[in-house]
Amino acid sequence: MIYTVTFNPAIDYVVRLDRELSVGDVNRAKGEDCVLGGKGINVSGVLAQLGCESVALGFVAGETGAWLERGLAAQGLKTDFVHLDHGMTRINVKIKAGQETELNGAGPDIPEAAMKALEKKLDALQKDDILVLAGSIPASLAQTTYERLLARLEGRGIRAVVDATRDLLVNVLPYKPFLIKPNNHELSEITGVRLTNDKEIAAAAHMMQDKGARNVLVSMAGDGALLLDEHGTVYRIGCPRGKVVNSVGAGDSMVAGFVAGYQQSGGDYEAALRLGTACGSATAFSLGLATKADIDALLATM
């Protein structure tokens, strides 16, 4: 089974204007949408499109949390959230008016009792299950939270996938995550080296592997992706052609595609990379998360 964790899920209220945002004035929307998300939830959503069942874990609170939970169930996603007694699941306002302006909510505080409830759910994971940890840690939790969870799961044969930045990513490497997915700019920040070509990116990926990561997937936006697998093989793939209209969720979609491709191919890393790239690109070329039809159409061109 695949499990995803979203510490601070959100309802994104997306507002589209037909002119530039006028600060201090009344702005009238020409359209609006509510999108249920958070990085782990995005991964679960794309996995569902690929026919892979997952369970979305994390924390929800208040009426907005109940709305999010019902909405995900209506989409066919399995959830097993910890319900917080106080606060409310955040609402993020995304204003699309030529440029995009965002106002992201803080989200509820997560007490220690809630963290222990999440850990109890993770205790039920079995050998070879996949656990996806994605995104930042809310301010109410210690920045060592990822390490805390992986230390608890250590030695149980659970495949951890971590999509995070800087210290959050570096500090989990001793726990030998199955996969990490930095982009090339994040990898440059981590290594302190300006990466300008495939050889340098592969060398930086080897550094991450030497520190404990089993597989290193480096996304490079329109330049495709590079994978260093646990056997030391480097795979390089370009990006399919298309017009980028949305970068939100593209990295999460790549993670979902990689995990699904790995499972469905019986551990073929090249197939996992191909599906991951198709999923990330399909989301980037869409207004929302990739659909199976979008993904299949791109796969046919790769």
Among 225-234, 238-247, 271-280, the least confident range: 238-247
Residues 217-227 pLDDT 10s: 999 988 899 99
Q: What is the pLDDT of residues 69-85, one digit of tens each?
A: 999 999 999 999 999 99
- Hey, is 215 helix, strand or coil? strand
The side-by-side arrangement of strands in the sheet containing 31-37 is: 31-37, 10-16, 90-97, 99-103
Q: So what's the pLDDT on residue 288?
A: 83
DSSP 196: -
User: Residue 261's pLDDT is what?
Assistant: 97
> 99-103, 173-177, 179-183, 201-205 — which is least confidently predicted?
99-103
Decide if pLDDT at 255 tops 80.
yes
Tell me: pLDDT of 246 over 80: no
Give 119-171 pLDDT, tens digit per residue: 999 999 999 999 999 988 998 999 999 999 999 999 999 999 999 888 899 99
* Pair of tokens at residue 105: 């909510």
Active site residues: 252
Residue 99's pLDDT band (cuts 50, 70, 90)? confident
The beta strand positions in the chain, using DSSP E, are 2-6, 10-16, 31-37, 54-61, 78-79, 82-84, 90-97, 99-103, 130-134, 159-163, 179-180, 215-219, 225-228, 234-237
Q: Percent of the chain, pLDDT > 70? A: 100
Q: Reduced to 3 DSSP states, what percent helix, strand and coil does the chain have, rounded to the nearest 5?
A: 40, 25, 40
Residues 179 and 215: beta-carbon distance below 8 Å: yes
**Residue 245 — very low, low, confident or very high, per pLDDT cuts 50/70/90?**
confident
Domains and CATH numbers, the chain: 2-8+39-86+107-299 (3.40.1190.20)
267: pLDDT strictly greater than 80: yes
Tally of helices (H runs) and strands (E runs) in the chain: 10, 14
pLDDT confidence of residue 242: 87
Cα 38 from Cα 9, distance rounded (Å): 5
Rounded CA-CA distance 205/215 in Å is 9
Mean pLDDT estimate for the chain = 94
First to last CA, the chain: 28
- Let me know: does 47 contact 2? Beta carbons within 8 Å: yes
247 has a pLDDT exceeding 80: no
* Residue 241, pLDDT score: 86
Average pLDDT of the residues in 20-26? 91
Looking at per-residue pLDDT, the higher value among 286 and 1 belongs to: 1
Which tokens hold the place of 148?
A: 């805390």
Encoding tokens for residue 218?
């480096």
pLDDT given for residue 232 in this prediction: 96
Tell me if residue 13 falls in helix, strand or coil: strand
**Per-residue model confidence as pLDDT tens digits over 159-194:** 999 998 888 999 999 999 999 999 999 999 998 889
φ/ψ region of 267 (left if φ > 0, alpha if ψ in -120 to 50, else beta) reads left
One-letter amino acid of 112: E
Model pLDDT, residue 53: 95
- pLDDT band for 248, please (50, 70, 90 cuts): confident
Per-residue pLDDT at 244 exceeds 90: no
Mean pLDDT of 89-108: 90
d(CA 219, CA 91): 28
